[in-house]
Amino acid sequence: MKRYEFILKNLDCANCANKIQNKLSENPNYKNVIVNFNTLKLTFDSEIENVKPEIEKIIAKLEPEVEVLDVNNFKNNKSYSKANLYRLIFGIIIMIFALYIELPGYLNFILTIFAYIILLFRTAKNAIKLLLKRTIDENFLVTISCIGAYFIGQQTEGLMVIILYEIGKLLEEKAINNTRKSISELMNIKPEYANLKHENHELKVNPEEVNIGDIIVVKQGEKIPIDGVIVNGEASLNTSSLTGESKLQDVKINDTVLSGSINEKGLIEIKTIRKYKDSTVNKIIELVENATDKKAKTETFVNKASRIYTPIVLLLAIIVVFLLPLISSITYKESIYRALIFLVISCPCAIVISVPLSYFSGIGKASKFGILIKGSNYLDSLKNLKTIVFDKTGTLTKGEFGVEKIKSINKYSDDELLEYAALGEINSNHPIAIAILKEYKMRKNIAEENDRETIKNSEQVNLKYQNEQLNNIIIDNKKITQFQEIAGKGLLYKIDDKTIKVGNNEFVDLNKQEYKKMCKNEIGTIIFVKIDDEIIGYIVLNDSIKPESKNIISKLKNLGIKTMMFTGDNKDIAEKVGNKIEINEIKYEMLPTDKYKEMEKLISRRSENERIAFVGDGINDSPVLALSDIGISMGGIGASSAIEASDIVIMTDDLNKIEEAINISKVTNMIIKQNLIFAMSIKVLVLLLSVIGIAQMWMAVFADVGVTLLTILNTIRILKK
């Protein structure tokens, strides 16, 4: 089974996109057919080779003006060519001569017919082709209205309808293209080329031509085209297109860098670790472009309703023609006129276009902030969140040990205790060793700079810069001899003929009663330091809570959302973290299967309109992420496992992005409601006015293309907010 992708040029109608999708889906040779009106992309699976000719034939029967293009051949989309614009202008000039200038003989009559032919040419041609295929749409409704107006003596109004309709469609298409352009600018992260290093020179190539292990050069001002590791040089990168964060990221040799980042300063050589198709930037682009393939309930309902809408409207218009003369004093000529207005008003474009365009805009806006939403159904569901369950480690906490407390006993100071431990830990790669070394270097650095509060507490200190400063501190461990690391217990070594033990209570020969007495009320991982036969103190380590955890829990509570925490940690540690951030409910000592079963219970108890989200790291909790209504991954920048595992991906570990995503969902939903209420209200109002004889043809045109244009312009507000 092969995956095919084509661009449908000149596809300017969301309803038309639905018709094409439905028709192709009926064919057993094509599976998973999706026509995305927002990106003009047709995708499907098929075992047939060279499918394009048949696809073109099927689409031509439905939408004669739509061209099927290969993705790589598509440059832009201008449905209304210059020829159509010139035709419109020429038709208006002919109409002016025909209706407003007295000409000899039958010239006025001939020019009126000629104006009709010129102005109605495209619309009538499409209507006839579709009618032959037993399909009717707005082209048919407008054509019938204009021709009908001519035969009841309303030639001027008939011509004005088609002129206003063509102008409206021109403006409508321009507005749609502007919206697409705005979204494209939000997602303008695709690199155009790569500087491939070849022997002693560089070749400018397509990123898709670069292989894993190739060396590429990224100069100042250029985008990184493919994920890789820096092998030469240093740079400051702008990763805002990936993460939404404007702060520059300093990188050096051995650092991993992601495609889509912009080199603001420096020159770097990168060894690629992925092909372009698997790179971060391409995954993001694919996610955003395909996101609206998974449709929300509102969008699905509108699409289904539009299939039967036009035939019903046509039937109602016929009823208006024959019923009004029977129940009132108006003539059949007047009832026909009112029915024609009715037909023009009833075109469903405003509703069919604005809903998917709104979701697409919301998803595009979210991506600008480093929030990848995989479907409009997930964007829509965010507004209905009533419960959010958080994983603890790596989500609410940093997922790494930090020294919380140092407690010395007898004659030794805290700093001396820490130094004895650090001298041994420098030979270990264990996470506990890394935490102790970091704390030791921090204190040593503080002592040297005499600026403890600024270094440790200031939020303005860049963590990466801080770590680089600490790495410059050298620990002299030459006096350490007879070093041993006992797995799962601790370290044993000698310093100046002193035997040092660093490890758990069993390793330092501390029984349970002595342990409880010495470490009463301590919560966390406790590491003891013993010199010869004397325990000189202990170090308490805990997984550090993220600075924004308490803040986001408070914000979610204000939104009326219940917060919960699922963790495999013991009761004491879980409650310590949960109480600090003031989370509503804590579940501890849970295996992955326990989390899954508990999520099943939550889902079974929720109401139909409520939604439950799970926030995790995208790796360990993938079953729960998949089970929840909305799985949100806090996977860090570009983690491919996080992108695959969840419905929404936060491209940084910033929990505040969850609130931003909820706000975008609410704004999108508000815009959709405004569009639907406005479009339907105007249409119903003008429909009623047409039935009682007040509305004229120009009002009907406004109720169609005018309302469509206004709803599209309103949708653009999502991108501007």
Are 455 and 449 spatial neighbours (Cβ–Cβ below 8 Å)? yes
- Tell me which DSSP letter residue 210 carries: P
Cβ-based burial of 496 (10 A; exposed 0-12, middle 13-18, buried ≥19): exposed
**Biggest distance spanned by C-alpha atoms of the chain:** 124
- What are the angstrom distances between the C-alpha of 139 and each of 166, 457, 553? 11, 67, 53
Are 621 and 596 spatial neighbours (Cβ–Cβ below 8 Å)? no
DSSP letters for 257-302 = E-TT-EEEEEEEEEEE-S-GGGSHHHHHHHHHHHGGGS--HHHHHH
* Residue 587: strand pairing partners: 566
* Residue 196: strand pairing partners: 203, 216
Backbone angles phi, psi at 46, to 5 degrees: -160, 150
* C-alpha–C-alpha distance, residues 544 and 405, integer Å: 12
- What are the angstrom distances between the C-alpha of 166 and each of 60, 115, 234, 487, 711? 21, 14, 56, 78, 18
Active-site option among 293, 391, 543, 629: 391
Nearest one of 335, 349, 339 to 302, comparing CA atoms: 349
* C-alpha–C-alpha distance, residues 329 and 426, integer Å: 100
Residue given tokens 């991993």 in the structure block: 256
Beta-strand relationship, 371-373 and 648-650:
antiparallel
Asked about 391 being catalytic, the answer comes back as: yes
Nearest one of 372, 368, 375 to 185, comparing CA atoms: 368
Nearest one of 673, 652, 650, 645 to 662, comparing CA atoms: 650
* C-alpha–C-alpha distance, residues 242 and 280, integer Å: 9
Are 40 and 109 spatial neighbours (Cβ–Cβ below 8 Å)? no
Mention every residue, 6+ apart, whose C-beta is less than 8 A from residue 341: 145, 686, 690, 695, 696, 697, 699, 700
* Residue 530: strand pairing partners: 501, 535
Indicate the SS3 state at residue 617.
Answer: coil
Residues shown for the chain:
721
Mention every residue, 6+ apart, whose C-beta is less than 8 A from residue 514: none
Rg (CA), the chain: 34
Nearest one of 625, 510, 484, 515 to 566, comparing CA atoms: 625
* C-alpha–C-alpha distance, residues 651 and 243, integer Å: 5
Token pair recorded at residue 135: 């399909």
Are 338 and 324 spatial neighbours (Cβ–Cβ below 8 Å)? yes
Cβ-based burial of 334 (10 A; exposed 0-12, middle 13-18, buried ≥19): middle
DSSP letters for 148-171 = HHHHTT-HHHHHHHHHHHHHHHHH
Nearest one of 86, 84, 87, 63 to 9, comparing CA atoms: 63
DSSP E strands in 273-431: the ranges are 371-373, 385-391, 397-408
Instruction: Please give the positions annotated as active site.
Output: 391
